[in-house]
């Protein structure tokens, strides 16, 4: 049966009418194939022309910025790795630059080495960063720990919740391969080789990131961390708190200015406080707290810096906890305060901790 069917098809194609249709079908197929090949060719030519155009534009922009040959070569390497079809992004967008730098340096030799490709590339990147204006973040967003300014204090603690002490050190700056901290206490050796959570404070709030401690040199007080692209605004729990245990005056925002409530300021941070007092208010109410630094700081010596001025700070009651003696502990968040008030609190908390432990 199959044989007879094939014979029938061959006879039909062998007939003049069948041959005509076969030629038409073959011609149509060949035309379709040729059309597809032409389309692919046109697309490839256009892609190639576009690629040449965007890279020529990158060359013009590098010339406008007066980049050195080494910097131009580095930019081309960064662009080829990160933004092949929009190479100018690496010199115009800080986020593209940071991602490209991270990928480029991680593809070289071990970051901890002090000679070889990484330090050489890092030196060029550092100069390039300055020329592109990527040394500090443009606003409240950090795209990389490489943008953290020299002199910025950072607090570290073990991410695994181990027994290692929390430490504070200061960013030295200038290293593209690693984040170098100086002034680290001897206890920093407990963090070597471990994942850590870091937090630092700016006038506009707190920021945090996770990293790994690559090396610690207790003799020099230095601590080397791997850079991170994941720098985010820190939550309230990331704000460092200091114990106060002193009286504080406050009132609800809806109460008259002459109203003066009193309670015990349990602790204070740049993000909020804990207040123990009679149960005056409900969760969700806004309080105006009279911050009086002279009550929280140790007695000043003859040449000591004068305490900051008193200031009224607004806070929102997030949680109310009732105590056994019928009083309340209010957990208050400084949610909508301005940059000036935030900077005031950050400075006050640091000073209280520093002078209390002196």
Say if residue 21's pLDDT is above 90.
Answer: no
DSSP bridge pairs for 154: 169
pLDDT of res. 336: 78
Domain assignment of residue 5, yes or no: no
Shared domain check, 205 and 310: no
pLDDT of res. 160: 75
Shared domain check, 127 and 231: no
Q: How far apart are CA 317 and CA 287, in angstroms?
A: 7
Say if residue 2's pLDDT is above 60.
Answer: no
Q: Which residue has the higher pLDDT, 161 or 166?
A: 166
Say if residue 300's pLDDT is above 80.
Answer: no
Domain assignment of residue 200, yes or no: yes
pLDDT of res. 293: 92
Q: How far apart are CA 130 and CA 93, in angstroms?
A: 14
Q: How far apart are CA 203 and CA 149, in angstroms?
A: 13
263-284 pLDDT, tens per residue? 999 999 888 899 999 999 998 8
pLDDT of res. 249: 95
Looking at 200, 220, 235, the residue that finishes a domain is 235
The total number of structural domains in the chain stands at 3
Shared domain check, 342 and 251: yes
210-258 pLDDT, tens per residue? 999 999 999 999 999 999 988 887 654 455 678 899 999 999 999 999 9
Say if residue 42's pLDDT is above 80.
Answer: no
Shared domain check, 262 and 345: yes
Domain limits for position 106 = 64-132
Domain assignment of residue 40, yes or no: no
Q: What percent of the chain has pLDDT over 70?
A: 82
Contact criterion met (CB below 8 Å) for 205 and 139:
no
Nearest to 213 by CA among 200, 221, 228, 223: 223
- pLDDT band per the 50, 70, 90 thresholds, residue 173: confident
pLDDT of res. 223: 94
Residue 117 CB: number of other CB atoms within 10 A? 14
Shared domain check, 273 and 295: yes
- pLDDT band per the 50, 70, 90 thresholds, residue 302: low
Residues 6+ apart with CB under 8 A from 37: none
Task: Rounding to the nearest 10 degrees, give the CA dihedral for residues 350, 352, 354, 358.
Answer: 180
Say if residue 165's pLDDT is above 70.
Answer: no
Largest CA distance in the chain: 118
- DSSP-assigned states of every residue in 66-105: T--HHHHHHHHHHHHHH-TTSTTHHHH-HHHHHHHHHHHH
Shared domain check, 314 and 260: yes
Say if residue 111's pLDDT is above 50.
Answer: no
Domain assignment of residue 215, yes or no: yes
Shared domain check, 250 and 335: yes
pTM for the full predicted model:
0.57
Shared domain check, 347 and 329: yes
Shared domain check, 230 and 266: no
Shared domain check, 252 and 199: no
Domain assignment of residue 218, yes or no: yes
Q: How far apart are CA 11 and CA 196, in angstroms?
A: 81
pLDDT of res. 258: 93
Only one residue has tokens 């901890």, namely 112
pLDDT of res. 114: 47
Domain assignment of residue 294, yes or no: yes
Q: H helices of 231-305, where?
A: 293-296
- pLDDT band per the 50, 70, 90 thresholds, residue 5: very low
Domain assignment of residue 25, yes or no: no
E-strand ranges in 110-202 read: 153-158, 167-171, 178-182, 195-202
Shared domain check, 292 and 189: no
Domain assignment of residue 34, yes or no: no
Q: What is the CATH number of the domain that holds 181?
A: 2.30.110.10
Looking at 209, 235, 261, the residue that finishes a domain is 235
Shared domain check, 351 and 266: yes
Looking at 132, 163, 182, the residue that finishes a domain is 132
pLDDT of res. 139: 61
Q: What is the CATH number of the domain that holds 267?
A: 2.40.10.220
Residues 6+ apart with CB under 8 A from 226: 111, 178, 179, 211, 212, 214
Say if residue 208's pLDDT is above 90.
Answer: no
E-strand ranges in the chain read: 153-158, 167-171, 178-182, 195-202, 205-217, 222-226, 232-233, 242-252, 261-268, 272-277, 286-291, 311-322, 328-333
Region of poorest pLDDT, from 91-100, 153-162, 237-246: 237-246
Say if residue 123's pLDDT is above 50.
Answer: yes
Sign of CA dihedral 207, 151, 342, 357: positive
Q: What percent of the chain has pLDDT over 90?
A: 23
Rg (the chain; Cα; Å): 33
């Amino acid at each position: 049966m199959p044989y007879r069917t094939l014979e029938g098809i061959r006879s039909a194609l062998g007939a003049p009418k069948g041959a005509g249709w076969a030629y038409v079908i073959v011609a149509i197929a060949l035309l379709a194939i040729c059309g597809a090949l032409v389309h692919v060719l046109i697309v490839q030519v256009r892609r190639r022309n576009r690629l040449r155009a965007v890279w020529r534009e990158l060359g013009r922009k590098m010339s406008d910025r007066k980049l050195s040959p080494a910097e131009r070569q580095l930019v081309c390497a960064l662009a080829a790795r990160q933004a092949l079809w929009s190479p100018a992004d690496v010199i115009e967008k800080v986020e593209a630059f940071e991602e490209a730098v991270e990928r480029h340096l991680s593809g070289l030799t071990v970051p901890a080495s002090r000679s070889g490709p990484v330090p050489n590339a890092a030196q060029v990147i550092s100069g390039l960063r300055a020329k592109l204006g990527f040394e500090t973040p443009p606003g409240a967003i950090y795209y990389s720990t490489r943008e953290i300014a020299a002199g910025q204090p950072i607090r570290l603690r073990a991410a695994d919740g181990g027994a290692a002490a929390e430490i504070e050190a200061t960013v030295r700056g200038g290293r593209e391969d690693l984040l170098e901290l100086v002034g680290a206490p001897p206890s920093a050796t407990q963090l070597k080789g471990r994942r850590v959570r870091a937090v630092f404070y700016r006038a506009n709030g707190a920021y945090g990131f996770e990293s790994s401690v690559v090396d610690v040199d207790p003799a020099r007080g230095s601590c080397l961390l791997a850079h991170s692209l994941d720098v985010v605004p820190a939550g309230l729990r990331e704000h460092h708190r200091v114990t106060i245990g002193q009286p504080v005056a406050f009132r609800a925002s809806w109460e008259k200015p002459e109203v003066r409530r009193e309670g015990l300021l349990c602790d204070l941070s740049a993000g909020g406080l804990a207040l123990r007092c009679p149960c005056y208010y409900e969760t969700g109410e806004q309080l105006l707290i009279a911050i009086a630094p002279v009550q929280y700081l140790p007695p000043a010596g003859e040449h000591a810096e004068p305490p900051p001025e008193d200031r009224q700070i607004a806070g929102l009651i997030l949680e109310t906890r009732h105590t056994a003696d019928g009083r309340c502990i209010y957990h208050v968040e400084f949610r909508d305060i301005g940059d000036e008030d935030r900077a005031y609190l950050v400075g006050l908390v640091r000073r209280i901790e520093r002078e209390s432990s002196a």
